[in-house]
């Protein structure tokens, strides 16, 4: 299919390579042009140029304002717009127009590069299923856009709460004079130790935060969850802890750097 990808950052770059590898004709735009080059796509100077002649337009950008800015004034009649950024419930409702597919994803850089994202698809996505399957596994959440975004927020709260709990556990071990790696070794492989704990726990123990999912974007998601969920004190607490770590200079590092809020 003729596909346009708006946004070739941490997630979009891997998606672009997999779309090209699957045989789709890809045009790409990114605010920083250099990040769109070398991916196998035709690089365009503007979003309007990129969407010309497209059958499917994908947005994979940092947040709602970035999506609004990139799509403002675009003629999307007769085009399937697949909105894959995490923008929250209210923003999804504002953006929806035409053949709008709400399809945020689970996964980070490694999954995007491997074509292993989980796509939470809602809306009229069957026409573009071959495009979605080039970047990951499709979960059908029904015909009405919005269900994908709501499920993404539910899943993100689980992940963000897990990482904050892990961070505090590592900090407790350190404050009690223990090697936190010992805790990770004890729970590894058992019912108390999900694989994600080993992955993010290693980052925290080694103080190595290569950004698969930047902390500043994780905090954005925590705020979206708090706005959508009403009285959810844990989501607000996670946002506050992330804000502290961001103020300490860790905003562009992996969100496991939230542990630095307590060091």
Rounded to the nearest 5°, which phi and psi values hold at 40? 95, 0
Q: Which of 152, 200, 241, 250 is catalytic?
A: 152
Sequence-separated (6 or more) residues with CB below 8 Å from residue 150: 89, 228
| Contact residues for 118 (Cβ-Cβ < 8 A; gap 6+) | 105, 106, 107, 111, 136, 137, 139
Note if 200 is an active site residue: no
CB neighbours of 178 closer than 8 A, spacing ≥ 6?
A: none
Beta strand spans in the chain (E)? 2-6, 25-29, 42-43, 56-59, 80-83, 99-102, 105-106, 117-121, 136-140
Q: Which residues have a catalytic role annotated?
A: 152
């Amino acid at each position: 299919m003729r596909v346009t990808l708006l946004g070739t950052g941490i997630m979009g770059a891997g998606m672009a390579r997999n779309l090209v590898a699957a045989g789709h004709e890809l045009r790409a735009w990114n605010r920083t042009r250099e990040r769109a080059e070398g991916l196998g796509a035709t690089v365009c100077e503007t979003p309007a140029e990129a969407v010309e002649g497209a059958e499917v337009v994908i947005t994979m950008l940092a947040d709602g304002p970035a999506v609004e800015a990139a799509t403002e004034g675009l003629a999307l009649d007769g085009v399937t717009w697949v909105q894959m950024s995490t923008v929250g419930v209210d923003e999804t409702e504002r953006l929806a127009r035409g053949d709008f597919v709400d399809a945020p994803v689970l996964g980070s850089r490694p999954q995007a590069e491997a074509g292993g994202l989980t796509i939470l698809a809602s809306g009229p996505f069957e026409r573009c299923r071959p495009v979605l399957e080039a970047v990951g596994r499709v979960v059908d959440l029904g015909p009405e856009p919005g269900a994908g975004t709501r499920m993404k927020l539910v899943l993100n709260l689980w992940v963000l709460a897990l990482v904050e709990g892990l961070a505090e556990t590592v900090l407790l071990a350190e404050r009690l004079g223990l090697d936190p790696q010992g805790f990770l070794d004890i729970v590894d492989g058992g019912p108390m130790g999900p694989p994600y704990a080993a992955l993010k726990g290693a980052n925290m123990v080694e103080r190595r935060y290569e950004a698969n999912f930047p902390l500043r974007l994780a905090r954005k998601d925590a705020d979206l969850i708090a706005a959508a969920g009403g009285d959810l004190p844990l989501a607000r607490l996670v946002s506050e802890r992330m804000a502290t770590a961001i103020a300490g200079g860790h905003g562009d590092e992996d969100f496991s750097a939230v542990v630095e809020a307590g060091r």
